[in-house]
Structure 1
C-alpha cells in the first residue's frame, strides 16, 4: 500500500482512521489502532474534561505514534475540552456536529491538523472554505448520528470528490479491505471505520453490546429520530418503543422525553440491551467476530491488497 495524501497528512502507515465513537473509543482502542499503523481517535463526545485528559495521557504512554481526538462541537464543555487538547499537545482533531468555522482557526493557530465530518457536498464545501485540512464524508449507512439526506457512501464520495480539492476520507459501511478499495476507487484518499472497531477487543463499550454487533444481520439497524438528530440504531425494545410513539403521532418533544438522558451510555457502555440506545452501522451484518485491533488491521490490509490485485488482473 503506497503512501498517499492521508498517510502523509497524519504521518501514519496506512490510510485507515478509527472512528471516534462515543462509549467505544477510549485510549486502549485509539493506541492499538495507531500502533497497528492507522490513526486512532479518542471519542471526546462521551468524556468529561477530566476524563478526556486522563485518556490523552494514557494514550501517549501506550503509543508513540500519531493519534487524534474526535469532538462533537455541540458538546456543552467544548471550550474546556479545546483548552485541554491544546495544552496536552494533541496534533490532530476531527470535528463534527457543528459549524467548522467555529473552531478551525483556533486549532490551526496552535499547529493542529483539523478534519471535519460531513454528510453532504454542501457541508463539505463549507468545511473546505473554513480552512480544514481534510474532510470525512460519511454515508447514511454509518452508525450513530447521521445525515438527514440519507445519501449513501457510494454516491456521496464521488459527489464530494468532484467539488473539493483537499484530502477526502470515506466513512459509512466500510469494514473490509474490499470496501476500502471501492471507496478509494470512488475518489477517497483514505477510510474511516467505526463499527468494525467497535467490535474489537480493545473497544471500551460493553461486551454484551459487542456481542449484539456480531449477532446482527442485514436489516437489523434503522435510521430514526430525524426530528431530533438522525441516529442509526440496532432494533431492540427501546427502538420498538420509538416506532410505537411514531404510530401514535408523537411530537418532537414526546420523542425527546422518550429518549431521556444517558440512553446511549446505558446501552453501549453499561450493556442494557433492552432499554439502551445501541448505535451501530449497517455493516454490522458483515461483522462476525470480536477481534483484537492488530488482527483487524492486518485483515484490512491483506483484503485490500488481494482485491486490488484482482481488479488489476480483471
Structure 2
C-alpha cells in the first residue's frame, strides 16, 4: 500500500497512531510501529527526562520508525526538542502553535516535520512554513481541537484543494471504510487516536479504556473553547463546566475550575467522575479493547473490503 505517506515515513500502511497525552507511551508507539504503521509518543504529558526514557524504551522495542508529538502550548519545549535530537528521533509532529517556530530547526537536523491543523488557513500556513506533511483534523476528534467545528468530511477536500504537500486525515476515523472515505476525498493517509486508546498497549487507565468502550452516540461534546477546545466524555466534571457556563464565567473562572492535572486525573489515574476524559465522537463505534496488532489488521482488512466494494459499485 505505497503512497506519499508510506514513502515519507518508511512504513507499510498509511496510518499514524495519534500522539495522545496520557495514552501514547512507548508500549503503544512501539506496538503501532511493529504493526506496520507509524507509532507516535505523546510528549504533551511527559517531563523532558520522562520523554527521554520513553524514546529509549521505544527504540529497544521496535526497529521501525516512530515519531514524537509535541504540543507547542506546553512548557519546556526547547528541552523536549533537544532530547528528540539527542536520541535520534527522525519524525516530529507539532501542534497547538506556529509551525514556523521549530520546522526549519528540526529539518536542518534531518528530522521530518508534520504539523496538525484544523482549517484551510492553518494548512496553508503550515505549507508555507515548509513542513513535510500536515494532519488535517476535523472537530469530531478527541482532545484539543479546532474552534470552527469543521467536520473531517468537509475539511479534507477543502484542504486538498489548496495544498500540495501530503495530507493525513484525522477526526472520526477508527475503521477501514472511514480510512478509505477520507482517502477518496483527498487524504494520503489517516491519523487514528480514539481507537488506539482502547488498546491493550495504551498507557490509559483501564477504567478510562472501559469508559471509551461504553460511550454511545451523543456522550461526548466539544467544550472549553475559551481555554482550548477539547472534546470530553460527559461526566461529573463536564456537568460542572456546563453549570459554570450558565453564570457567564470569565476565562479565569474556567481556569480555576479546570485546575491542574485534570486530564491526568481522568485518563491516566482513572477518576471517571472528576477527571477530564478526552475522546473522539467515534468512540460510539468502539466496542472492545484489543492488542494494537489486531486493531491494525482489522482496519486494513476492512479497508480492502470497502475498496473492493467501491470498485464493484
Q: What is the TM-score normalised by the length of structure 1? A: 0.99
Shift of 1:249: 1.8
For 1:276 and 1:74, how far apart are their aligned partners in 2? 21
Q: Identify the residue that residue 38 of structure 2 maps to in structure 1.
A: 39
1:225-248 CA distance string (max 9 Å, x none): 011111000000000000000012
Q: Identify the residue that residue 85 of structure 2 maps to in structure 1.
A: 86
Q: Structure 2: where are the runs of 5+ without partners?
A: none
For 1:196 and 1:290, how far apart are their aligned partners in 2? 9
Shift of 1:252: 1.2
1:169-215 CA distance string (max 9 Å, x none): 00000000000000000000000000000110000010000000000
For 2:286 and 2:132, how far apart are their aligned partners in 1? 31
For 2:274 and 2:105, how far apart are their aligned partners in 1? 40
Asked if residue 116 in structure 1 is aligned to residue 97 in structure 2, the reply is no
Asked if residue 292 in structure 1 is aligned to residue 291 in structure 2, the reply is yes
For 1:228 and 1:90, how far apart are their aligned partners in 2? 31
For 2:13 and 2:170, how far apart are their aligned partners in 1? 15
Q: Secondary structure at the match of 1:202?
A: coil
Shift of 1:251: 1.4
For 2:222 and 2:67, how far apart are their aligned partners in 1? 28
Q: Identify the residue that residue 8 of structure 1 maps to in structure 2.
A: 7
**CA RMSD after TM alignment:** 0.4
Q: Secondary structure at the match of 1:74?
A: coil
Asked if residue 56 in structure 1 is aligned to residue 55 in structure 2, the reply is yes
Shift of 1:75: 1.6
Q: Identify the residue that residue 169 of structure 1 maps to in structure 2.
A: 168
Q: Identify the residue that residue 222 of structure 1 maps to in structure 2.
A: 221
For 1:161 and 1:33, how far apart are their aligned partners in 2? 27
1:238-277 CA distance string (max 9 Å, x none): 0000000001221111111000000000000000000000
Shift of 1:55: 0.2
Q: Structure 1: where are the runs of 5+ without partners?
A: none
For 1:272 and 1:163, how far apart are their aligned partners in 2? 43
For 2:196 and 2:249, how far apart are their aligned partners in 1? 35
Q: Identify the residue that residue 274 of structure 1 maps to in structure 2.
A: 273
Q: How does 1:231-310 map to 2 (within 5 A)?
A: 231-310=230-309
Asked if residue 74 in structure 1 is aligned to residue 82 in structure 2, the reply is no
Q: Secondary structure at the match of 1:9?
A: helix
Q: How does 1:188-199 map to 2 (within 5 A)?
A: 188-199=187-198
For 2:21 and 2:44, how far apart are their aligned partners in 1? 6
For 1:132 and 1:155, how far apart are their aligned partners in 2? 22
Shift of 1:219: 0.2
Q: What is the TM-score normalised by the length of structure 2? A: 1.00
Aligned residues: 313
For 2:154 and 2:125, how far apart are their aligned partners in 1? 19
